[in-house]
Structure 1
Amino acid sequence: MLAAVLIREKKMGQKSRWVPYISRLPQPAEMHSSIFWGEDELSMIRCSAVHQETVKQKAQIEKDFSFVAQAFKQHCPIVTERPDLEDFMYAYALVGSRAWENSKRISLIPFADFMNHDGLSASIVLRDEDNQLSEFSTLQVTADRNYSPGDEVFIKYGEFSNATLMLDFGFTFPYNIHDEVQIQMDVPNDDPLRNMKLGLLQTHHTRTVKDINIFHSSCDTFTIKEVKSAIGKGKGIPQSLRAFARVLCCIIPQELNDLSKEAAQNDGRLARLPFKDGNRELEAHKILLSHINRLIEDHSVCIKEMEECYFVSQRFAVRRQMARDLLYGELRVLRSAAEWLNHYCTTLLSETM
């Protein structure tokens, strides 16, 4: 594991051949990935899926550390200072935020990983994974503009939301065009048709690969992106989420059987077509709208509480700003979805009257 190698080299101090590189890596106090946040800091983002994902990632780090600690004990018995969990979490975060990965290996590449992220950068990063003359692949960066001496060169890590940037890299942007929201919906435990609905959803798979992002999505997790127009086609709200809502609003077995038959007659995906009964279509989307309005309220409450917090340290100030960027971005996405759903429901209502 690369994190373990980094710990070993750091413990070697000046004896390590990598000391010029390691000495220039961010120090623990400069790391702001959400895995380093305390409970009070994490409570600022409790309404976001990032909170739950952070808890899960910290648990996984602790599990991985137990294996690394055992490996150090077995294979490095002469090391007097063994790594602790904080050492491992620090190394884990460095690797997670700076490493380059290809089909063969994961690597830390000195100098290349000092280039920061700009979501609008058009710099080109090329990796030669097929170099047969060397055991090492090469990396080449082509700048997107002319740079003067002293200018910082940026690259684009990917089209990442603030949620991903916060969790994996430890920074956010005040306005991120790639922001998105993870929402969870489930069939209520007291739904008389719960088992039939769950079986149908499992059989037909409500989500496509495009609906899943970096989070470890469960069967009831969906990704909403910003809806650009309230009167458009609703691009940004996954069709799979709207299909899930149609399944939720079914109240008799025959409705579910009809959805299953419709899926079999088309591409196999469940409830992708609007209900022929406008009232049922309206009911399905009112379920969605109600759920999203609750999330909007939750985000608004968290933002209000966060804005009332006083600075207790520079570190807290940085993390509060990150929380602010995250929540305002998610709120913008949620409101755009609510506006579209409102318009869609209003249109359906006028057509059924």
Structure 2
Amino acid sequence: MWCVSRISTVRFHRSSILLTPCPRFQLANAVSLSQVSLCLNVDSVDFLSWLQQKAGIEISSALSVGNSVYGRSLFASKFIQAGDCILKVPYSVQITPDNIIPKLASFLSDDIGGVARLAVVILAEQKKGQDSEWAPYINCLPRTGELHSTIFWTKDELEMVRQSHIYQETINHRAYIEKEFSKVKPALEHFHQNFEDVTIESFMHAYATVASRAWETSKGQSLIPFADFLNHNGVSEAFLLSDDDKEVSEVVADRDYATGEQVLISYGKFPNATLLLDFGFTLPYNVYDQVQIWMSVSQHDPLRAMKLELLHKHWKPSITRGHGFDSSGNSFTIKEVKSAKGKGKGMPQALRAFARVLFATSAQELKDLAMEAAQNDGRLARLPLKDMSREIGAHHMLLSQITHMIREYDASIKSLDSPNSHNSRQFVLRRQMARDLLSGELRVLKSASAWLMNYCGTLSRDTGHP
């Protein structure tokens, strides 16, 4: 038995780019029954009956499909006790890239990802309409306009999050999906009767639908009907589990649920940037929020060449920013520093080391750092500088950059309150998501600033340096 994870981009460090669900919202705290309106309907009941008939076994006797203020959800149809297995979905009723039309599969190149292949499966089944063997499930998937990943945001909407790294991630993500479509399109043209209406827009919607709902299993990417109606709670300890021996995916409740209460699981420990880009929702307060900070060697630094040589020797030179290659710097991910008086967990040691290198003003300082690295574990500038005034200065430089970022985030958040001609429900929703995202990242920056001020202040008091 092993944990199955949602397909998700690891924000700020993307190797392959994947995406988001229909309106899904994490409930950060327990939701009272008065806040959730369980609204079962004939289609919902029919869906579970159809899936159980198709699977040949009972999927769940503890859960029912319903609608809440958070969209389609799963609710406890009876009292659930912590430790109860609340659903089992056999592999036989999970959709994988293997469901692609065999003849079409032969036209697809090997470098096309699993999400793109699953998107083609969904497009083919949508074309079949009610003749599709998966019609009850396909009909439950989000329609155009119901996904809120930033890849679907307008130019004006995306401007709201320009301050965050998600802005560039979104641009990169769109480009990646367009590239996948260009690989898939020639194969689709061979079967135009099945895909005559497919455009980049419809492909992007199918791609995002798949990526937001799919799970990473031992069989690769899989769409798991019924299980993907479970909404996300970042603090939940319930996960989708996969049993290859029994060929079934299941969920075990991590706590008790009263009849009628919405049942939640964890998609993973994701920051709002990931939730927004990959799943199309944010949390008002997300304990996993993080910020990316970029540091680079100034073009006007007289020691630029020497610093770059030293950095390239001790850091992997695979550093990119935007669409280009920038070997003069690196990006670092900061997580919330829980206590200004603590050890600074959340402040990357590599970031502080980079600052020490950037702050060097003489060739001898750089030579000393290189010698120190050689004598220890090879990692550059990981120990505090021996000259405490230089150590304080390096961290003040880092503090200055973070302070500048704080001001910019503050300005971006305030701009969200400016009068705007856009009053659509969609814009209002996305503006709130932008506010959640920026506020969470600002909180992280402020925690880093507090830790740095405390660190510098403590060194100053202990050593007498200003």
Q: 1:5 aligns with which of 121, 131, 155?
A: 121
Which secondary structure state, in structure 2, belongs to the residue aligned with residue 20 of structure 1? helix
The offset of 1:328, in angstroms, is 0.6
Q: Distance in 2 between matches of 1:80 and 1:172?
A: 34
In structure 2, C-alpha distance between the alignment counterparts of 1:147 and 1:220, rounded to whole Å = 46
4+ long deviations beyond 3 Å: none
The answer to whether the 8 A contact 1:206-1:270 is kept is no
Contact 1:33–1:167 (8 Å) recurs in 2? yes
Select which of 103, 108, 111 maps to 2:223.
108
Amino acid at match of 2:428: A
Taking structure 1 as reference, are residues 81 and 140 closer, same or farther at Cα in structure 2, changes over 3 Å only? same
Report the counterpart of residue 273 of structure 1 in structure 2: 383
Contact 2:124-2:195 within 8 A present in 1 as well: no
1:195 Cα deviation (Å)? Answer: 2.5
User: 2:124–2:194: 8 Å Cα contact kept in structure 1?
Assistant: no
Partners of 2:453 and 2:195 lie apart in 1 by: 64
What is the aligned partner in structure 1 of residue 70 from structure 2? none
Q: Deviations over 1:123-160 (max 9, x none)?
A: 2431123x3x7xxx421100122334432211101111
Letter aligned with residue 329 of structure 1: G
Match of 1:312?
423
Give the % identical residues. Answer: 55
* 1:142-193 per-position Cα deviation (integer Å, ceiling 9, x unaligned): 0122334432211101111001100100001000111111111111122222
Partner of 1:184: 294
Letter in 1 for 2:255: R
Post-superposition CA distance 1:188-228 (Å, at most 9, x none): 12222222222222221289xxxxxxxxx996111101111
Distance 1:309 1:128, change over 3 A: farther
Summarize the alignment of residues 251-262 of structure 1 with structure 2, pairs less than 5 Å apart.
Answer: 251-262=361-372
Could you list the per-position Cα deviations for residues 70-119 of structure 1 after superposition, in whole angstroms to 9, with x for gaps in the alignment?
21012x13336231011111111112111111243211111111111101
Q: Aligned equivalents of 2:354 and 2:456: distance in 1?
A: 17
Indicate yes or no: 2:443 matched with 1:327: no
The equivalent residue for 1:62 is 178
Q: In the TM superposition, what whole-angstrom CA distance separates every residue of 1:290-313 from its partner, at most 9, and x where no partner exists? A: 110111011011111111244510
Structure 2 partner of 1:79: 194
Give 1:158's aligned residue. Answer: 268
Distance (Å, rounded) in 1 between the aligned partners of 2:188 and 2:248: 31
Task: Single out whichever of 79-88 and 53-62 deviates more from structure 2.
Answer: 79-88
Q: 2:249 aligns with which of 124, 139, 142?
A: 139
Match of 1:28 in 2: 144
Of 188-197 and 223-232, the range deviating more from structure 2: 188-197
Q: What's the TM-score once normalised by structure 2's chain length?
A: 0.70
For residue 450 of structure 2, what is the aligned residue in structure 1? Answer: 339
Give the match's secondary structure for 1:269. coil
C-alpha contact 1:161 1:176 (8 A) present in aligned 2 = yes
Report which stretch shifted further, 303-312 or 153-162: 303-312
Partner of 2:160: 44
1:127 and 1:325 map into 2 onto residues whose CA distance is: 33
Which structure's residues are more often strand, by fraction?
Answer: 2
Distance 1:153 1:80 in 2: 37
How far apart in 1 are the matches of 2:300 and 2:435? Answer: 37
Structure 2 unaligned spans of 5+: 1-116, 318-325
Amino acid at match of 1:257: K
* Equivalent position amino acid for 1:127 in 2: S
Deviation at 1:349, TM superposition (A): 2.9
Q: Distance in 1 between matches of 2:134 and 2:457?
A: 63
> Quick check: 1:95 aligned with 2:210?
yes
Distance 1:185 1:44, change over 3 A: same
How far the C-alpha of 1:57 sits from its partner, in A, is 0.5
Q: 2:240 aligns with which of 121, 125, 131?
A: 125
Aligned Cα root-mean-square deviation (Å): 1.8
> Larger deviation: 170-179 or 78-87?
78-87
Q: Which region of structure 1 is more displaced relative to structure 2, 311-320 or 234-243? A: 311-320
Secondary structure at 2:339 match in 1: coil
In 2: Cα distance, 1:285 partner to 1:206 partner = 23
Partner of residue 331 from structure 2, selected from 198, 221, 224: 221
CA–CA separation in structure 1 for the residues paired with 2:193 and 2:160: 44
Shift of 1:121: 1.1
Contact kept in structure 2, 1:206 and 1:244, CA below 8 Å: no
Q: Is residue 19 from structure 1 mapped to residue 135 from structure 2 by the alignment?
A: yes
SS of residue in 1 equivalent to 2:160: helix
Contact 1:279–1:352 at 8 Å: present in 2 too? Answer: no
Larger RCO: 1 or 2 (CA < 8 Å, sep 6+):
2
Residue 84 of structure 1 aligns with an amino acid whose one-letter code is T
Equivalent position of 1:296 in the other structure: 406
Query: Structure 2 vs 1, CA of residues 309 and 49 (structure 1 numbering), >3 Å: closer, same or farther?
Result: farther
2:127–2:195 CA contact under 8 A, matched in 1: no
